[in-house]
Structure 1
Amino acid sequence: MNKIAHLSILFITSMYLLIPTLTYSQEALTNQVKELKIKISELEGGSKLKLMDSLSRLINYTNNPKLKADSIIRATIEYAYKMDSLEIAVARTSSLIFYYANRVNKPKEGINVFNDFKKKKLNISDNDILARLYTNAGDAYFFSGTIKESIPIYDEAEAYALKDNDSILYAEARTYKASAFVDMGDYATGSQLLSETAKIFTILKDTTRLIGARNTLAVVYSKMGFYEEAKKERTEVIQISKSQRDYRALIPNLFNAAIDANKNGDQVLRLKYLNESYYYNTPDESTTPRTKLSSIISYALLSAYSENDSLVKAQQFFNKIQNKFSNNKPVPFEYAYRSSLADYFIAVGNYKNALTNAQMALDIHLSTNNTEGIYESYDKLTEIYSGLNDFEKAFTYTSKYNRFKDSINSIQKSRALSYYQTLYETEKRDFKIADQASQIALLDAENKINRQWMLFGGAGLLLGFLIIYLIRSRRFIASKQELQEKFSQDLLNEQEKERSRLARDLHDSVGQKLMLLSKTTQKLGDENAEKLATNTLEEVRSISRGLHPSNLERLGLTEAINALIYDINANTDLFFTDEIDNIDNALSKESELHLYRIIQETLNNIIKHSEAKAVKMKIQKTANDIQVMISDNGKGFDLESKYKNMSLGLKTLFERAKILGAKMNLDSVVNQGTKVTLTITH
């Protein structure tokens, strides 16, 4: 079973994944089990254990209670311990946990098996078996509802997979962990993990798992309101599924794509995807459908044709549904069945039958707390009561619909904001790691030179050879250092581009929607909601300003620096004296941004660390250069110690200065303050 079915948010996808695919018919499997049991009863020792292990493997994926798979697997584990075959014992322990968690819906039994295994404290060296066991144990915790506890178990599964150099096991564990984060509401972390695993499956050319990971990622994007990203993922997955003729992946992906198209108001695309899913599921009406989704696809087509004034085709699907599904007990996917009937009766003007079915759909959604289904039912009921000329009830359901829609929009915005914040933090972390790797490489190169001098310094006969060798070595190291510096500078430039993009997305998308939400709550008179919306909007703007200085583009470099000083002056106890020449258009746009960042970071360091009372800034423009001087009267620091243990922030300042082609000096005396000078030739 594909454990992507973890995700409760997978709309319909998980439905087909829950259907086990057995190699044997039930009758054939039962007969084979009986034959193996007879043979096992006639054997002893290693031969018996080998057959018991084969039997356990055979029944591990069945959920037929008559076979009593758990008893057979337990007997195999017990006999394996008796025979001192730890490898088989642990492998079948993993199988038993899987059976309880993934086959017979007894995840707590799986947890008990896992805890009993840990108490034994066995010395197991097979990392492959341990990776599988911990992955299955993570599933047991997940399906038992203790989702948070599953994450460290999946972490251990990843660690064992890495030790075994098994990329597939590693990526699988991360995929299931992503499911856990998403189910806990952490869509940002979940989506990042899924992106990582999709890359691994792409490298491994594991198409089946790649389709599963990317389909899940598309659904997560959709839940965050990132419909374009979801569409991009899903379009590529659909193309891959078609090329591989993987219909069990293709059909639900087409169905999910139709759902997103409807949310975006693209009815043409909605009908296209639904008709494709219907065709691929049953290419010939006389054949057996490829998945168990025939009913819900038919309901969706009935709704789509009814809502788009295609009553002839709607009538055709209405008749099919009545003939094939309406008499089933229970009706498959009854919530969708009732909703589609309501859409059809609205289209033909039978508001009485429409009301009955819409109310039944609403009752099902309320019982399952399906927020999207509830607000869609409210919208339907508004239209029905309007058709019945009961405008009082129509207004009541309109109000309920608007409240639920605002709630869903707020949730999506919150998820989107969390995603951007997580992305920003990850960017900072990755930059720090890259910088550390860069410094380690530089130190390693310097140590290499020292070892060369010590090794060959006393070998006079090889002096000429060594001189040539060392010259080449120095050139290589200088080239390597140059490459490392270029890498750091490129990293800074890419970081600024990404910050700019994130700031623009926050301002243009999330910010605008929050502003609209603030105005809406103000009109409704809900002061608490208005205050929350206003505060959230200000937080988004603050994050946006931190990511990219919009003043730099709107006001120019000189006024942006003045605005920065004014802001610090207004919000701190620092006393500023400044003398700033107009330096607009003296530098390129990229250089202006780096200079602004240097000044911003220097002032931030003064605020955080210096304990200064006063700051002096002077920016002087001459015919040949720009000179920047920032000094404070704070506590200062020991320069020698500071250079030995240079912080990431200070390294970044010097890297930016290199990008500017500027000379930067840092002077500081303990208890006497600090002075930063920067000379930029223009």
Structure 2
Amino acid sequence: MFRKFIKPIKILLLLFVISFLYACNGKKESDVVFEKEIPAKEDATKAYLHQVENYKKDKKYLSVLYKYYNQKIAEHNYLNAAEILDIACVYLADSYDFNETFMATITEFDAKYRKEVPTLKTTFVDAYLANYYFDKSNLKKACDYFKNITLLEPNDYNSCYSIARAYYDLSYIHYIMGKQNLSLAANQKSFEYFTKINNPKGLAFVYSNYANIYTAIGDKKRAVENADKAIKAYKSINNTYNVYIGLINKISIYDFMNDSRKTALIDSTYQAFVDSKDESKILKLKIFDFKIENLVQANKLPEAKKVIDELKPIVEEINSDDLTLEYKVAVAQYEIKKNPDYSNFEDIKKALPTLITNQQYEKVNMFYGVLQISALQNNDFKNAFTIEKDKRIIADSISDIATREKIAELEAIYETQKKEQQITLQKTTILNKNTTIALLASLFLGLFLTVVVYITKQKQKKLKLEKQNVQQYTKQLLEKTEEERKRIASDLHDSVSHELLSLKNSFEQKTDITNSKIDSIINDIRIISRNLHPILFDKIGLKASVEQLVERAQSVNDFMVTADIDYTNSLSTNDELQVYRIIQEALSNIIKYANAIAAKIAIQEKNNSISIEIKDNGKGFNVSEKLNGKSAFGLHNIIERSRAIGGEAKINSDTNGTIITIEIKKQ
């Protein structure tokens, strides 16, 4: 009964969070952490490549780039090679230029030379690949590459800018995927990093994303306010390109909110762009697409066709999947207006499943809009209503609020039309039969759905119970194994060892050789006994036992191991013993296979959990490959023992070593 209140409450909470973050973000001088460095004097070629105008106007730009890059690679000057690729990546990504030659260069650098350059100097690789996958509508991969950058910590102005920009791009992707909480969190991080370098352009980016988020949750006033803040910020630094981007963003807000001011803003932006004689092809595509929509709605089809024809060669030249889709929508709007029976929507329908799978909800909304216009123009209200319901199925769609309003509107039209038909049909006996069939079908459907829900819940309950049983069985198996080890260890220590000692003392004629052999046997038995079950573990506890294990590992293997233990015996003895076995297994693997010279064991007790970390500086290994192989008993042993005591083990490994972390929740 309370479900209908959840959405409004979530929206109110989101508005409160955004307002709170704004209130807390008054910029202070002390927030500036990294000052912009004065660039070092560059050689002539590098200075040439740094000029964006050369990229835009000189067809030889990429040839000069490749020649300079290959020269630096040949000189093993990988840092300089990285810096020049960094410059080019920005220019090409902003122009949607993902040509095969440059992509091959980036891929080669990533595979062969990236490790030779400090990590913070190579974020351009992830940024370029993220933009490539964004253009291909693969938002999940784009997110993954941007996240790679956000995991880093900056150490100068440029690295801080790269991380701030990655958070901004991540926020925008979450926005169009309908994940407004994630979008808000990423945008706030972007704000923090841009503030650290006092970058006005970056802060304008943040305002743009806040405008998007407010649009998604239906707050038109604040959406427009933030769009205007972004435009004002771009104007203050004379950034004409992004002023137009800000205006395009504002048009999109008006479009999303169905605001009548959209038409006038499109016309004024279009005219200003034409008068400025700006040569940016990206801006031209975006602004002219909107202009086509205006002309079509005003029934100025010859003018619309002229703009369409003017854009066509630019679309073909840029060859961007993202921009091509937007252009196709504009063309489809023109064709529908020109011919109400137009039905060539194959490209749009073909793209829809991929866009939905990749959560490209902004584009999905746009495509559904074209199909809906066609249905409405043909007075096919039933199909229009069905399309609107399809939009609603996308639960986290950014257009949720607008969709609800549109559904109410179309539902009213459709219901009116349906009632008129029913009045006519009431005069015949067919109506009664159809009504009876409909009622029976509804009843059957209701019963069917009830059964499906019940069966699903029972299956979930059964799976949960089976998981608990498996965990309990594993735990009992490990405890029984430890009990048996303890018994055998006790027998070895108390019986066999004792008998050998008595034998040693009973010899009438003792010899050094005999004594030495018996001492060796006794020592071996003690080692076996200790490995089966640590001596006095039940009395001295986990901390002391691990310290003894570390001490033995160092003395026997000439291997440096340190232990940092902050633990107060909050686990049961059986669980402590499993922790000891996990550390013992991990340490044994390090000594046998890692070729490491040092290792560290850390146990930290928190309020609700206990954290264990075992790391080494060895050669590392491929974790997934190893776990799927036939010689990973030790690793699986660590994982299963962790699960048995309510913990989770994570294994990360690379050429710098291996880290095993285990989080155990306190019962």
Q: Return the TM-score normalized by structure 2.
A: 0.42
Q: What TM-score, normalized to structure 1?
A: 0.42
Q: Which of structures 1 and 2 has the larger relative contact order (alpha carbons within 8 angstroms, sep 6+)?
A: 2
